[in-house]
Chains A and B, each alone.
Chain A
Amino acid sequence: EADIYQTPRYLVIGTGKKITLECSQTMGHDKMYWYQQDPGMELHLIHYSYGVNSTEKGDLSSESTVSRIRTEHFPLTLESARPSHTSQYLCASRPPSTDTQYFGPGTRLTVL
């Protein structure tokens, strides 16, 4: 069982606020990912990282940014939240030499 954590689990916030969604894993995995998922829809990759100081944009364009200063942490930031950012955000990591991913529980973000 993978240990990957996301905080907060739920966040309701007003338009224009800056938010940071936290993701951490204790397994030392280099590869980490952020996905966005709307209800009933597929997961869309928005950011990924191959390791410290590596960040790449995913398939779905996103106004969010990420950083990877430490292996364990991969936070996602929205500088100015908008209602269109309302969604579930899922973080994942990938063990070396495998093709599978381990997911955190997700953060459900609602922007009013």
Chain B
Amino acid sequence: SQKIEQNSEALNIQEGKTATLTCNYTNYSPAYLQWYRQDPGRGPVFLLLIRENEKEKRKERLKVTFDTTLKQSLFHITASQPADSATYLCASETGANNLFFGTGTRLTVIP
């Protein structure tokens, strides 16, 4: 069955460094992958979508890549700030054109 894995449950980095989060998919070839940010007790907020024919996409300090050979998307936050601390979710499509989500990576940026 289709599966998304976000390998790291938690990631701690120093302020100013680049955070890199990983999303691996198995048993299917998604047309796109999406990244969301979720703060405690809140709903997810959409950040970026990357399609299978796109290698890289950027938005301000955020960058996402899509490697169909490795079956992986990487999500980067450059010049990280404590305000970037949150859980980041990877999401992909189902056959019914709905979304399913990974368990997320909880990022903590240490001042």
Contacts and interface: CB of A to CB of B under 8 A. Distances in A.
Interface of A: 33, 40-43, 45, 48, 58-59, 88, 90-92, 99-106, 108
Interface stretch (B53-61, B73-81, B98-106): B98-106
B100 to A, nearest CB: 7
A103 to B, nearest CB: 3
Given A40-B9, A45-B99, A104-B43, 12 more contacts: A33-B98, A42-B102, A42-B104, A59-B94, A59-B98, A91-B43, A99-B32, A99-B49, A99-B93, A100-B46, A103-B45, A106-B43
Contacts of B43: 90-92, 103-106
The CB with the most chain B CB atoms within 10 A, among A40, A91, A100, is that of: A100
A63 to B, nearest CB: 20
Contacts of B93: 99
Contacts of A41: 103
Interface residues of B, number: 20
6 contacts: A42-B103, A58-B98, A92-B43, A99-B32, A105-B42, A106-B41
Interface string B79-104: 00000000001000110001111111
B42 A43 contact: no
The CB with the most chain A CB atoms within 10 A, among B32, B42, B89, B98, is that of: B98
A82 B44 CA distance: 26
Given A99-B49, A105-B42, A40 B103 contact: yes
A93 to B, nearest CB: 11
B34 interface: yes
The CB with the most chain A CB atoms within 10 A, among B99, B101, B102, is that of: B99
Contact of A59 (B100, B102, B103, B104): B100
A88 B44 CA distance: 12
Given A59-B94, A108-B41, A102 B46 contact: yes
A106 B46 contact: no
Contact of B101 (A43, A88, A105): A43
